[in-house]
Amino acid sequence: MFRLILKDFLLQKKMFLFMFIYIFIFSIAFQNSGDYQVTPIIVAVSYMFLMAGCAWEDKNNSDVLLNSIPISRWKIVAAKYVSLIAYAMVAVLGYWLFKTVASIVGFSGEMSPITWEGVAGGLFGVGLVSAVYLPMFFKLGYLRSKSVNFIIFFAFFGLIGLLPKILPKLFPVKPEWVTALDAGEFSTAFIGAVLVGIIVLVQVLSYALSVRFYTRREF
Amino acid sequence: MEPILELQGVTKKFPKFLLKDVSFTLKPGYIMGFIGANGAGKSTTIKLIMNLLRRDGGEIRVFGLDLLRHEHEIKNRIGFVYDENHFYEELTIKEMKTIIAPFYQDWDDSVYKRLIKDFELPENQKIKDLSKGMKMKFSLAIALSHHAELLLMDEPTSGLDPLIRSDFLGILSEVIQDEKCSVLFSTHITSDLDRIADYITLIHEGKILFSMGKDDLLESHALIKGEKSLLGPELSKYLVGYRENQFGFEGLVKNKEELQPLLTGRAILERPSLEDIMLYCTRGNAACSD
- pLDDT tens for residues A101-113? 888 887 756 777 8
Is residue B113 located within the same domain as residue B201?
yes
CA torsion sign, A66 to B122 to B84 to B143?
Answer: negative
Determine whether the interchain pair A56/B90 forms a contact, defined as Cβ–Cβ distance below 8 Å. Answer: yes
What pTM, to 2 d.p., does this model score? 0.86
- A68-97 per-position pLDDT tens digit: 999 999 999 999 999 999 999 999 999 889
Looking at the complex, report in whole angstroms how far the Cα of residue A71 sits from the nearest Cα belonging to chain B: 7
Interatomic CA distance for residues A181 and A168, integer angstroms: 15
Determine whether the interchain pair B50/A71 forms a contact, defined as Cβ–Cβ distance below 8 Å. Answer: no
A62–B contact, CB cutoff 8 A: yes
Looking at the complex, report in whole angstroms how far the Cα of residue B236 sits from the nearest Cα belonging to chain A: 43
pLDDT reported for residue B167? 83
Is residue B115 located within the same domain as residue B183?
yes
Is residue B48 located within the same domain as residue B163?
yes
Is residue B58 located within the same domain as residue B74?
yes
**The total number of structural domains that make up chain A:** 1
Write out the residue range of the structural domain in which residue B147 sits.
5-216
Determine whether the interchain pair A61/B84 forms a contact, defined as Cβ–Cβ distance below 8 Å. Answer: yes
Section A42-60 average pLDDT: 90
Is residue B33 located within the same domain as residue B161?
yes
Write out the residue range of the structural domain in which residue A90 sits.
2-215
What DSSP character marks residue B184? E
Is residue B199 located within the same domain as residue B273?
no
Interatomic CA distance for residues A193 and A213, integer angstroms: 30
**The total number of structural domains that make up chain B:** 2
pLDDT reported for residue B290? 54
Interacting residues of A17 by C-beta distance below 8 A, sequence separation 6+: none
The shortest CB-CB distance from A11 to any of B72, B88, B98 is to B88
Section B66-94 average pLDDT: 94
User: Could you tell me the CA-to-CA distances from B213 to B25, B219, B278 in Å, in that order?
Assistant: 12, 10, 14
* Strand, helix or coil for residue B223: strand
Section A116-124 average pLDDT: 87
Is residue B228 located within the same domain as residue B210?
no
Determine whether the interchain pair A7/B99 forms a contact, defined as Cβ–Cβ distance below 8 Å. Answer: yes
How buried is residue B67: exposed, middle or buried, by Cβ count under 10 Å (0-12/13-18/19+)? buried
Determine whether the interchain pair A70/B95 forms a contact, defined as Cβ–Cβ distance below 8 Å. Answer: no
Looking at per-residue confidence, does A110 or A143 come out higher?
A143
Q: Provide the percentage of residues in chain B whose pLDDT is more than 70.
A: 97
Determine whether the interchain pair B52/A219 forms a contact, defined as Cβ–Cβ distance below 8 Å. Answer: yes
Q: Provide the percentage of residues in chain A whose pLDDT is more than 70.
A: 97
Is residue B225 located within the same domain as residue B207?
no
Determine whether the interchain pair B86/A67 forms a contact, defined as Cβ–Cβ distance below 8 Å. Answer: no
pLDDT beyond 80 at B286: no
Determine whether the interchain pair A10/B91 forms a contact, defined as Cβ–Cβ distance below 8 Å. Answer: yes
Mean pLDDT (chain B, rounded): 91
A189–B contact, CB cutoff 8 A: no
The shortest CB-CB distance from A60 to any of B72, B80, B88 is to B88
Scan residues 64-83 of A and list those with Cβ closer than 8 Å to B: 64-65, 67-72
Is residue B195 located within the same domain as residue B227?
no
pLDDT reported for residue B85? 85
- B143-190 per-position pLDDT tens digit: 999 999 999 999 998 888 888 888 888 888 877 776 578 999 999 889
B contact set with A (CB within 8 A): 47, 50-54, 72-73, 75-76, 80, 82, 84, 86-91, 95, 98-100, 102-105
Looking at per-residue confidence, does A188 or B123 come out higher?
B123
* The domain boundary residue, chosen from B170, B192, B216: B216
Is residue B11 located within the same domain as residue B134?
yes
Mean pLDDT (chain A, rounded): 86
How buried is residue B157: exposed, middle or buried, by Cβ count under 10 Å (0-12/13-18/19+)? buried
Is residue B249 located within the same domain as residue B138?
no
Q: How many CB pairs under 8 A join A and B?
A: 63
ipTM of the complex: 0.86
Section B203-223 average pLDDT: 94
Determine whether the interchain pair B76/A218 forms a contact, defined as Cβ–Cβ distance below 8 Å. Answer: no
Is residue B149 located within the same domain as residue B236?
no
